Structure 1
Amino acid sequence: MRKLKLQVQITIDGFVSGLNGEQDFMLAGGPDAAGFKKVIELAETSDTILLGRKMTPEFIAHWENMVDNQPSSPAQPLAQLMVNMRKIVFSRTQTDIKGRNLEVENGDLATKVNALKNQPGKDLLAYGGADFVSSLISLNLIDEYYLFVCPVAIGEGLSIFKEKKSLKLESSTAYQHGKVLNKYVPA
């Protein structure tokens, strides 16, 4: 059975974005080659990305633009993965969203995710947005949490945890510039 892995950057005070979707905190400390390598390694363990409708247009535009127009970017290896990998966008309102290797799913979230977990293949990887990830967490669908904790507090913002959730820390890796990757599994 495939696992659903969540990868997200989060502030030290528990937010995945500001109240208006701001994510500038992710740039704290500048680029980190080892952390970036881990993001690529995690993506390579998966063959399907799960996304929420709200973040999809920006996600698709960013990675497709990088593949098409920034061939010398150091992020090109990750961009290639993001563009070429199967992507499933969950939406209650839209049936067609443009993007390469992108499908829209309008059915029941838990039913579809559990069906995907039972298919052959590599693991599944969820990136966001906040409401979508909150739904995955509330439905107990996440098998592994990869939280890149940024050394920034923003005071208020969007959280992916809407209720008490007990997790077990499996590993923790500190990176240059202060980010820490904590891997958790459900307790």
Structure 2
Amino acid sequence: MRKLKLQVQMTIDGFVAGPDGQLDWMWIPGERDEAMFQRVIELADSCDTILLGRKMTRGFIDHWENVVDNQPDSPEQSLAQRMVNMRKIVFSRTQTNITGRNLEVENGDLATAIQALKNETGKDIIVYGGAAFVSALISQNLIDEYFIFRNPVAIGSGLSIFKDEKILKLDSSTVYKSGKIVNKYLPG
């Protein structure tokens, strides 16, 4: 059975985005950590399907397709190719058609749809966000592995993915020169 992996960037005070979805705290200009970038590539390569919440989809699709189409020299090109070429499923209660390469829309019951995806053959499944979608996955105990990229920044307020108590078991922890720490957790 395939696993559902969560990869998420988080502040040290527990937020995955600012109050209005801001992500400007995530990357320090000019400070690219190659080892951490390689970890992101490895996680993507272990999967063949990306799950997305509707609210983050437009920005995600537009960003990665723009890098592939218009920024051939971008250091993100290798990751962008993966993001564009991989199968993507957007979960939405309100939209039935969203444009993007290799993109499908799922309107059915979340737990039923996730279980069906886990039962398919292939590599694992990865989810990057958005916050409300990930929170729903966590609340329904659908995440099999949590990869939390802790950033050395506090923003004071913002969007959280944990709405209830959740006991997790630390599987591994890696510190990167950028000051980010990647903790892999398993359900407790």
TM over 0.5: yes
Partner of 1:21: 21
Residues 93-108 of structure 1: matches in 2 within 5 Å?
93-108=94-109
Q: What is the deviation of 1:89? A: 0.0
Map Cα deviations across residues 55-84 of structure 1 (whole Å, 9 max, x no partner): 000000000000000011111110000000
Q: What is the deviation of 1:93? A: 0.2
Q: Check the 8 A contact 1:167/1:186 in 2, yes or no.
A: yes
Q: What is the deviation of 1:105? A: 0.3
Residues 21-40 of structure 1: matches in 2 within 5 Å?
21-28=21-28, 30-40=31-41
Q: Check the 8 A contact 1:8/1:128 in 2, yes or no.
A: yes
Identity %: 70
What's the Cα RMSD here? Answer: 0.7
Partner of 2:160: 159
Q: TM-score, normalising length from structure 1?
A: 0.99
Whole-Å separation in 1 of the counterparts to 2:94 and 2:71:
33
Q: What is the deviation of 1:28? A: 3.7
| Residue identity opposite 1:23 in structure 2 | L
Whole-Å separation in 2 of the counterparts to 1:78 and 1:28:
18
Q: What is the deviation of 1:11? A: 0.2
| Residue identity opposite 1:19 in structure 2 | P
Whole-Å separation in 1 of the counterparts to 2:168 and 2:25:
24
Q: Which runs of 5+ in 1 are unaligned?
A: none
Secondary structure, counterpart of 2:156 in structure 1: coil
Map Cα deviations across residues 112-165 of structure 1 (whole Å, 9 max, x no partner): 001100110000000000000000000000000000000001111000000000
Q: Check the 8 A contact 1:28/1:152 in 2, yes or no.
A: no
Whole-Å separation in 2 of the counterparts to 1:28 and 1:80:
23
Q: Which runs of 5+ in 2 are unaligned?
A: none
Residues 103-182 of structure 1: matches in 2 within 5 Å?
103-182=104-183
Partner of 2:67: 66
Whole-Å separation in 2 of the counterparts to 1:137 and 1:9:
15
Runs of 4+ aligned structure 1 residues displaced above 3 Å come to none
Q: What is the deviation of 1:31? A: 1.4
Partner of 1:52: 53
Partner of 1:9: 9
Q: How many residues align?
A: 187
Map Cα deviations across residues 12-42 of structure 1 (whole Å, 9 max, x no partner): 0000000000111111472110000000000
